[in-house]
Amino acid sequence: MNRVIALANQKGGVGKTTTAVNLAASLTATKRRVLLIDLDPQGNATMGCGIDKNAQPRTSCDVLLGDCAATEALVPVEYGGFMLMPANQDLTAAEVRLLTMIAGREFKLRNALKPIRDSFDVVLVDCPPSLNMLTLNALVAADSVMVPMQCEYYALEGLSSLIQTIDQIRTSINPELQIEGLLRTMFDPRNNLSNEVVGSAHRTFRGQGVPDHDSAQREAGRGTELRQARALSRQGIARRPRVSGARGRDDSPRRTAFSRRHD
């Protein structure tokens, strides 16, 4: 069964793109047919795949605006082995155009993907760091959403609004939308704050069916080549996701400003 997974978090720099690119390469290595959609005008996923974002005749912008079919905008990622729908700055203009449309603007990606969904086992959508019309299109097109979360002080700020948005989309447009989980990125178990953030996220979201997962691509963030990262990520993906062993408030040796604020 094929699956569309959006990687979303309106907070910037939390590892959405790094996760998306490495997940695409890893899933390809496990013999799955993978499509990565760059839905961020920064075009980082496109660049991360070694594709020149400014030299593409067709991009996700054209697809969203209905100027071309999704198949026309796909390019092969040579050393990743998967397909990419690239993006560049033009996507900003597309978002503005979408905002002025009255009907059906949230369904543009979903409708565009319909003819090609069956050609892939997994479609990953790399979202921009904003809860805008592009992210909304991704969430409406998706079967599930994965939320990369950097384990630092402000990590939980905004997560609640993302979860609320997901709930709203579920009740109004896409009842099938699942939360794949919170993915801890740049997590350092030796760091007290990292552990507190994980514990706090666990306490905040455990009643809402939000599992949390370990990030397996620390090396990728250090600029490891895609091929090496693919091998590393493969090991990580083989690992079963586990619910974090969050320390409860009572057995915590020391409560910091962070835990007082978020508990």
Ligand X SMILES: Nc1ncnc2c1ncn2[C@@H]1O[C@H](COP(=O)(O)OP(=O)(O)OP(=O)(O)O)[C@@H](O)[C@H]1O
* Per-residue CA distances from 200 to 2, 54, 206, 217 (Å): 33, 41, 10, 23
211 is an interface residue for ligand X by CB under 6 A: no
233 part of the interface to Mg ion, by CB under 5 A: no
Residue 17 interacting with Mg ion (CB under 5 A): yes
Q: What number of chain residues touch Mg ion (CB under 5 A)?
A: 3
Q: Does 245 bind ligand X (CB under 6 A)?
A: no
Contact present, 200 and 263 (Cβ < 8 Å) = yes
CA angle 14, 109, 145 (to 5 degrees): 35
Check residue 12 for interaction with ligand X (CB under 6 A): yes
Pairing between strand 122-126 and 83-85? Answer: unpaired
Tell me the HSE value of 120 on the side-chain side, using a 13 A CA sphere: 26
Task: Give, in order, the Cα–Cα distances in Å from 172 to each of 135, 145, 231.
Answer: 16, 16, 40
Rg (CA), the chain: 18
Distance of CA 64 to the CA centre of its chain: 18
x/- string (CB under 6 A) for ligand X, residues 117-146?
------------x-----------------
Q: What is the torsional sign of CA 67, 168, 124, 91?
A: positive
- Host H or E run for residue 124: strand 122-126
Question: Residue 38 or residue 196: which is nearer to Mg ion going by CB?
Answer: 38
Closest residue to ligand X, based on beta-carbon distance = 221
Site string (32-61) toward Mg ion, x via CB under 5 A:
------------x-----------------
Residue 174 or 217 with smaller CB distance to ligand X = 217
Query: According to CB under 6 A, which one of 32, 144, 221, 234 is a site residue for ligand X?
Result: 221
Q: What does 217 interact with, of ligand X, Mg ion, none (CB < 5 to 8 A by kind)? A: ligand X
Identified binder of ligand X from the candidate list 6, 17, 74, 140, rule CB under 6 A: 17
Task: Say whether residue 244 binds ligand X (CB under 6 A).
Answer: no
Length of the chain: 263
Q: Which residues bind ligand X (CB under 6 A)?
A: 12-18, 40, 42, 44, 129, 185-186, 215, 217-218, 221
